[in-house]
Structure 1
Amino acid sequence: MRSMLTLRAVARLALQPPRVLMTKRNQLKAFSTSVKAYSSVASQLSECLNEEIRAEKELESQNLQQASFPGFKITTTDAEVRLTKKHNNEDILVVFNVNHSVDMGEDFESESSEAPPVPVALPPFTVEITKGNERLCFHLELCEGENGQYDFRVEEFYVAPSAKGTEEEDVASTVYASSGRYIDSNLHDLLFVRYLEERGLDAQFCKTLVQYATHYEHAQYVTLLHKIKAFVAN
């Protein structure tokens, strides 16, 4: 996976002004501890942050679309997103975190590309289906299919006691969990595909999750830039 900095730099290639190379003389001055030098660095950093924020907002307006999850209630806490809904007598919870979720194809540096590529967020996510005192849990990874479609693969699944609150969501290490990679094909189709599809976790859900996570991760990055700008200014 490419670094976040590299991905964003490539995505904004057409938006950024030419960069000025730092000379050896300027490098020596950067080590100065004087108040004047510090003020100069803070001022330049503030200008750089303003330019970065402007470029990111332009990228968002041109390439990123906000998505919604029909039937789900969405709650967010910083980098974490939680989706909840009812299905008959079941409570369904989907959780994902956009930290370090940006990814891009291995050919994103290809010079034949007509337009700068846009970073895509592919966060791993968990699904918990609670019924009574138990919950059926899946840990899933997003993967890109053909024609720009997305799907998921089950990395792990298990049954655990139901959570009584967010502080009790962690599952004890004594609970047995099985890998999703080694499972009978018929069971795979029934449990990992059709069972989850009945609860709205299908290919369209994956596509929506990628769109939402990409937009949300980008918004969190811009918020971080604003926080750094305010921190430097104080």
Structure 2
Amino acid sequence: MASNILRASLRALSRPAFKSVVTPVLSATSRRVTPAIGFTPIRAFSAGLTRLNSGAVDSDLAHKLDEELQYEKSNEEASQPEFIKEFLDTHLFEIEDKPGQDEVSLTRTFGNEKIRVLFSISDINSTEDPEDFISEELEGAEEVEEPAPSFPVRASVTIEKNGKGAITIDTVAQDGEISIESVMYYKDAKLASDQSSESDWQRRGLYIGPQFAELDEGLQNLFERYLEERGVNAALASFLPDYVEHKEQQEYIRWLQGMKDFVAV
């Protein structure tokens, strides 16, 4: 009996002692922890994310892109421009133009040869001195307006014969003229057009030939006539800048459409 009374007394004494010691510690700890890692910083961080994800500029940008898109579409020709149809019908070339791609190719056959003319719309951005596009006033004479020169378009002409390899002639088309820059021969026709890293590595080790301007003048003239017979002539030189402008406009419209669709979502 005495031992039971003693244990009960000890339990009674221990309970207040436990509360008086532990409760203040927990309370103090709670007050210290809440400001440091409690809800207030989390709410502030969440509010910041909400503001960032709301995209306040998105609607303005999408609207402006749509305005530009509608303007460009209003000036877009409904069908293929006549100059393209006329050239393809007259000069026996077929055109390969993939939407979204920078390069365009023209192909045709000539006897036992396969001819490919490869060019890029990036040439429309070639830098030129603005003064080159302004007619100069001649001293002591009236100012004469002259047509502005077209931008140069680089075109790589590859001529392939089955089992005989290929040659690649790098040219520049401008103001209705084709200028030859270099002539290269490939015993393996694959090297003339294949864009793999292996073919590119093999081309780097080949002799590319002399500078075209350093060739005998008679030889230069014959190479020029050689291209003319194959349709790489003044008509092509006039066609390329016009087509590059047309293609660049089409790609710009696709770019506007894609950007607007992305931003608006």
TM norm structure 1: 0.68
- Can you give the 5+ residue segments of structure 2 that lack an aligned partner in the other structure? 1-47, 136-146
Going from structure 1 to structure 2, the CA distance change for 1:220 and 1:140 (only over 3 Å counts) comes to same
Confirm whether residue 172 of structure 1 aligns to residue 203 of structure 2.
Answer: yes
AA aligned to 2:93 is F
Quote how far apart the aligned CAs of 1:121 are. Answer: 6.0
Percent sequence identity is 27
AA aligned to 2:155 is F
Higher-Rg structure is 2
More helix by share: 2
Aligned CA RMSD, in angstroms, stands at: 3.3
| Alpha-carbon displacement from aligned partner over 1:105-164 (angstroms, at most 9, x marks no partner) | 724589xxxxxx99x6643110000113311111112223xxxxx222222211012128
AA aligned to 1:201 is V
Quote how far apart the aligned CAs of 1:55 are. Answer: 3.2
Confirm whether residue 130 of structure 1 aligns to residue 130 of structure 2.
Answer: no
Confirm whether residue 197 of structure 1 aligns to residue 228 of structure 2.
Answer: yes
* Kept after mapping to 2: 8 A contact 1:121/1:214: no
Aligned length: 189
Structure with the larger RCO, 1 or 2 (CA within 8 Å, 6+ apart):
1
Q: What is the 5 A alignment of 1:94-113?
A: 94-103=117-126, 106-107=130-131
**CA distance in structure 2 between the aligned counterparts of 1:232 and 1:100, rounded to whole angstroms:** 29
Q: 1:158 aligns with which of 162, 184, 207?
A: 184
* Kept after mapping to 2: 8 A contact 1:102/1:214: no
Going from structure 1 to structure 2, the CA distance change for 1:105 and 1:152 (only over 3 Å counts) comes to farther
Quote how far apart the aligned CAs of 1:202 are. Answer: 0.5
- Can you give the 5+ residue segments of structure 1 that lack an aligned partner in the other structure? 1-31, 111-116, 145-149
* Kept after mapping to 1: 8 A contact 2:173/2:238: no
Partner of 1:41: 57
- The SS at the match of 1:39 is coil
* Kept after mapping to 1: 8 A contact 2:123/2:152: no
- The SS at the match of 1:217 is helix
**CA distance in structure 2 between the aligned counterparts of 1:87 and 1:35, rounded to whole angstroms:** 65
Quote how far apart the aligned CAs of 1:223 are. Answer: 0.7
More strand by share: 1
Going from structure 1 to structure 2, the CA distance change for 1:133 and 1:219 (only over 3 Å counts) comes to same
* Kept after mapping to 1: 8 A contact 2:166/2:189: yes
**CA distance in structure 2 between the aligned counterparts of 1:105 and 1:200, rounded to whole angstroms:** 31
**CA distance in structure 2 between the aligned counterparts of 1:43 and 1:109, rounded to whole angstroms:** 41
